[in-house]
A and B are shown apart, each in its own frame.
Chain A
Amino acid sequence: GAVVSQHPSWVICKSGTSVKIECRSLDFQATTMFWYRQFPKQSLMLMATSNEGSKATYEQGVEKDKFLINHASLTLSTLTVTSAHPEDSSFYICSAGGLPSYNEQFFGPGTRLTVL
């Protein structure tokens, strides 16, 4: 299957700072990327869907000014957690879909964010 990478794999930051997480599709063109958040022992929760070159669509209850998503190219999407607070500590996962199979979604390994 296709490969999706995330960077960094883990990050610790101070409260009030911003953190950027990158999601890359390494061997295919990702027309759509999804960002998920996962709390301990819970399932994935979709935060937003982004299509290359257009604004992301956020799920209800997700603050778009806090979680900035940019999908500037067919291989890269970024999630920036702005003015991070301890309650933003979580596991963030991206997945990518696109050519050649629109039905498939390929998941990144995730980024663990800890805000002190």
Chain B
Amino acid sequence: KNEVEQSPQNLTAQEGEFITINCSYSVGISALHWLQQHPGGGIVSLFMLSSGKKKHGRLIATINIQEKHSSLHITASHPRDSAVYICAARAFGNEKLTFGTGTRLTIIP
């Protein structure tokens, strides 16, 4: 069974700070997703990674397959980035995702 852990659980930062959210998993995976959930509930898919690094605007996601670890970075953070960020891992040969418990990010103006 794949265990997915995220850290930190809660993160409060000042506007403009560089943010890092970490995700570790226990078994080999075919893909790792980063999701964003705003207070209204809707989920947005940010990234799907199987290796290396992806960048979209101020968001960067990296994954280290050997270390079974992924990070989500936000540069020049803004209050609108305040949300819950969830990583979800897909094991080989399995369509199902195993979700982390989420990181609640609050950016203070």
Does A97 contact B42, Cβ atoms closer than 8 Å? no
On chain B, the residues within 8 Å of A43 by CB distance are 86, 99-102
With most chain B CB atoms within 10 A of its CB, the pick from A1, A91, A105, A110 is A105
* Shortest beta-carbon distance from B55 to chain A in Å: 15
Name the segment of B16-24, B44-52, B61-69, B73-81 touching the other chain: B44-52
Residue B109 is within 8 A (CB to CB) of chain A in the complex: no
> A17 CA to B96 CA in the complex, in Å?
31
Interface size grouping (class) on chain A: 20 to 34
Contacts A103-B31, A105-B33 given; does A110 touch B96 at CB 8 Å: no
Query: Which chain A residue lies CB-closest to B95?
Result: A32
Most buried by B among A1, A32, A43: A43
Known: A43-B99, A107-B45; 4 extra A-B contacts, CB below 8 A, are A38-B41, A46-B96, A97-B95, A110-B43
Residues of A within 8 A of B (CB): 1, 32, 34, 38, 42-44, 46, 49, 91, 93, 97, 103-110, 112
